[in-house]
Amino acid sequence: MKKQHVQLKVEDRELLAIKLRKETLSAKVRNRILGLQALDRGLSFQAAKQKLQISHVTLSNWAKKYHENGLDFLQDKPRSGRPIEIDGTLRAKITALACSKTPEGYARWSLRLLADRLVELEICEKISHTDVGRALKKANFNLIEKDSGALEK
């Protein structure tokens, strides 16, 4: 008799079938579901890995994670990393300031001038001119002044 590597709970089996039919899934999650189902049907690691074209180690890791965490392993856990410093609200404020009238004595806004003004107006505690440039670039904003005095967007 073949060893069944994964034995899905009845409710898990039904949930996975529903997910495959109804939900839009990433390829990663879809492959994990198909791998679990193949192992649940009694396929060996060798047969399942050839069917899904994945490595033996990956398949055994999925089986191990299912035994440890249930279906929670289907979605990746949040990864550590640097938190977002410039969110959409701050980016909008940067763009609005860049659209405003320039200070006296200046023909147009520079990135450094914008960064200094953002700190001066206490919109943010600190910001570099490169961060201002990235925010404007993400907003597809260009700091070139038109003849009418308005800034080009």
Domain range annotation of the chain: 10-74, 88-138
Query: Nearest-CA neighbor of 18 among 65, 68, 71?
Result: 71
Half-sphere exposure of 81 (CA within 13 A, CB side): 5
54 vs 97: CA distance, rounded Å: 51
pLDDT score, position 119? 94
pLDDT score, position 55? 93
pLDDT tens series, the chain, 153 aa = 456 678 888 898 999 999 888 878 888 999 999 999 999 888 888 999 899 999 999 999 999 999 998 889 898 888 888 877 888 899 999 999 999 999 999 999 999 999 999 999 999 999 999 999 999 998 888 887 533 444 444
DSSP 8-state assignment for residue 73: G
Phi, psi of 11 (to 5 degrees): -65, -35
pLDDT score, position 91? 92
Q: Does residue 35 contact residue 62 with C-beta atoms inside 8 Å?
A: yes
pLDDT score, position 2? 59
| Total residue count of the chain as it appears in this document | 153
pLDDT score, position 3? 66
